[in-house]
């Protein structure tokens, strides 16, 4: 509940905002003739969610903040700075938040402004906000070194530059390694499915899918079925049929997001308006082997 003095002061500020603007600008050292107008101050619509956060329990205490970056957007660094700040604010007793950007393909990094490890915002007085981050460019890592790491990191080995030309051999090695490690059937399946999907970031899926036919049947994949089942459960509250349709659309978008260009407004609306369950199911199965959203939708009836 809002405290009484908060509410009353807000009412005064709203009614006398020009005076408050002058007062605040003077405190900031801005020119006395600076103009400003009120805007909606409600931030409840912002629901930031980082990719991964980890509490550090030993040594240098703090929080690890990991962002997986498959496609770059102009507001990514400001967004990551926000995530970092909120993570620190909510649990500042944990220590500093250390941000890591894991770039999954060369196209990720903005060519005009390569990532330097610092995102800095300045004004006339100098730096007033800065994010320090670490960049890991997967393509520069050594494939064989990654293959020696625990199973959960194995899919990254296929995205390195030195994996090119060795994919059939490497997929065999990963499958063999998972058998040696005696991971569960579900984990084995999920890791191979991750390998298949991640390779779509760098290669044509028409060339990649045949390499997995011996190891993975996507249509029978428990992971894929799990995505559908989860969506069905959520959709039951508003009707099972509509929930399943929404789930199928979400799966299509999720599978294509990492390897195809951004979905245009035209195709986004087309996907949202598609109510044919069988067609949506067919589109889901086509996404991994389709070169673009245009081809995917042009092949549909």
Name the least confident of 66-70, 145-149, 203-207, 274-278. Answer: 274-278
Q: How do residues 5-17 score in pLDDT, each as one tens digit?
A: 455 566 677 778 8
Structure tokens at 12: 């005064």
Question: Are 134 and 61 contained in the same domain?
Answer: yes
In this predicted structure, the answer to whether residue 223 has a pLDDT above a threshold of 70 is: no
Question: Are 182 and 159 contained in the same domain?
Answer: yes
Residue 276 has what pLDDT?
Answer: 79
Question: Where does residue 32 rank: exposed (0-12), middle (13-18), buried (19+ CB within 10 A)?
Answer: exposed
**Greater pLDDT, 65 or 262:** 65
Over residues 251-278, mean pLDDT: 72
- For the entire predicted model, the pTM comes to 0.66
- Determine the Cα–Cα distance for residues 296 and 283; give it in Å rounded to an integer: 7
Question: Are 62 and 32 contained in the same domain?
Answer: no
Q: How confident is the model at residue 147 (pLDDT cuts 50, 70, 90)?
A: very high
- How far is CA 155 from its chain centroid? 17
In this predicted structure, the answer to whether residue 219 has a pLDDT above a threshold of 60 is: no
Question: Are 110 and 148 contained in the same domain?
Answer: no
Residue pair 155/147 in contact (Cβ under 8 Å)? The answer is: no
Look at residues 164, 153, 159 and name the one whose alpha carbon lies nearest to residue 258. Answer: 159
Q: How confident is the model at residue 209 (pLDDT cuts 50, 70, 90)?
A: confident
In a domain, 45, yes or no: no
In a domain, 2, yes or no: no
Q: How do residues 73-120 score in pLDDT, each as one tens digit?
A: 878 899 899 989 988 888 778 888 999 998 988 888 887 778 999 999
In this predicted structure, the answer to whether residue 238 has a pLDDT above a threshold of 50 is: no
In a domain, 256, yes or no: yes
In this predicted structure, the answer to whether residue 62 has a pLDDT above a threshold of 80 is: yes
Q: How confident is the model at residue 170 (pLDDT cuts 50, 70, 90)?
A: very high
Mean pLDDT of the chain: 78
In this predicted structure, the answer to whether residue 48 has a pLDDT above a threshold of 80 is: no
In this predicted structure, the answer to whether residue 125 has a pLDDT above a threshold of 60 is: yes
Sheet holding 118-123, edge to edge: 52-56, 62-69, 97-103, 126-137, 118-123
In a domain, 149, yes or no: yes
Question: Are 125 and 56 contained in the same domain?
Answer: yes
Residue 234 has what pLDDT?
Answer: 46
Which of 113, 139, 165 is a domain's end point?
139
Question: Are 170 and 113 contained in the same domain?
Answer: no
Q: Which structural domain, as residue segments, surrounds residue 268?
A: 222-298
Which of 201, 216, 231 is a domain's end point?
216
Q: How confident is the model at residue 236 (pLDDT cuts 50, 70, 90)?
A: very low
In a domain, 5, yes or no: no
Q: How do residues 282-301 score in pLDDT, each as one tens digit?
A: 777 777 777 777 887 776 55
Residue 2 has what pLDDT?
Answer: 41
Residue 8 has what pLDDT?
Answer: 53
Which of 139, 157, 186 is a domain's end point?
139
Residue pair 256/263 in contact (Cβ under 8 Å)? The answer is: yes
In a domain, 203, yes or no: yes
**Greater pLDDT, 265 or 132:** 132
Residue pair 100/62 in contact (Cβ under 8 Å)? The answer is: no
- Determine the Cα–Cα distance for residues 110 and 118; give it in Å rounded to an integer: 14
- As a three-state string, the secondary structure of 166-181 is CHHHHHHHHHHHHHHH
Question: Are 146 and 179 contained in the same domain?
Answer: yes
Question: Are 132 and 146 contained in the same domain?
Answer: no
Question: Are 114 and 157 contained in the same domain?
Answer: no
In a domain, 46, yes or no: no
Total domains in the fold of the chain: 4
**Greater pLDDT, 268 or 299:** 268
In a domain, 227, yes or no: yes
Residue 137 has what pLDDT?
Answer: 93
Structure tokens at 224: 């894929």
Question: Are 253 and 288 contained in the same domain?
Answer: yes
Q: How do residues 171-192 score in pLDDT, each as one tens digit?
A: 999 999 998 888 888 888 888 8
Residue 94 has what pLDDT?
Answer: 81
């Amino acid at each position: 509940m809002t405290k009484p003095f908060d509410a009353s002061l807000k009412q005064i500020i709203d009614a006398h905002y020009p005076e408050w603007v002058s007062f605040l600008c003077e405190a900031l050292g801005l020119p006395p003739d600076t103009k400003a107008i009120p805007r909606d101050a409600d931030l409840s619509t912002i629901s930031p969610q980082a990719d991964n956060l980890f509490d550090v329990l030993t040594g240098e205490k703090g929080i690890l903040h990991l962002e997986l970056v498959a496609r770059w957007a102009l507001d990514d660094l400001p967004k990551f700075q926000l995530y970092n700040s909120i993570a620190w604010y909510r649990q500042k007793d944990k220590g500093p938040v250390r941000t890591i950007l894991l770039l999954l393909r060369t196209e990720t990094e903005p060519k005009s402004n390569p990532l330097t490890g610092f995102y800095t915002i300045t004004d006339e007085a100098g730096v007033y906000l800065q994010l320090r981050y670490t960049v890991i460019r997967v393509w520069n890592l050594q494939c064989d070194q990654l293959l020696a790491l625990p199973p959960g990191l194995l899919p990254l080995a296929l995205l390195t530059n030195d994996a090119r030309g060795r994919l059939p051999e490497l997929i065999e090695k990963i499958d063999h390694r998972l058998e040696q490690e005696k991971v569960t059937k579900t984990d084995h399946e999920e890791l191979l499915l991750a390998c298949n999907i991640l390779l779509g970031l760098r290669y044509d899926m028409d060339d990649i899918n045949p390499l997995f036919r011996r190891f993975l049947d996507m249509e029978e994949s428990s992971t894929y079925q799990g995505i559908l089942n989860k969506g069905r459960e959520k959709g039951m509250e508003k009707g099972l049929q509509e929930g399943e349709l929404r789930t199928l659309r979400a799966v299509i978008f999720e599978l294509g997001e990492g390897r195809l260009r951004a979905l245009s407004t035209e195709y986004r609306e087309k996907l949202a308006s598609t109510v044919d369950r069988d067609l949506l199911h067919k589109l889901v199965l086509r996404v991994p082997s389709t070169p673009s959203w245009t081809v995917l939708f042009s092949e549909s009836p």
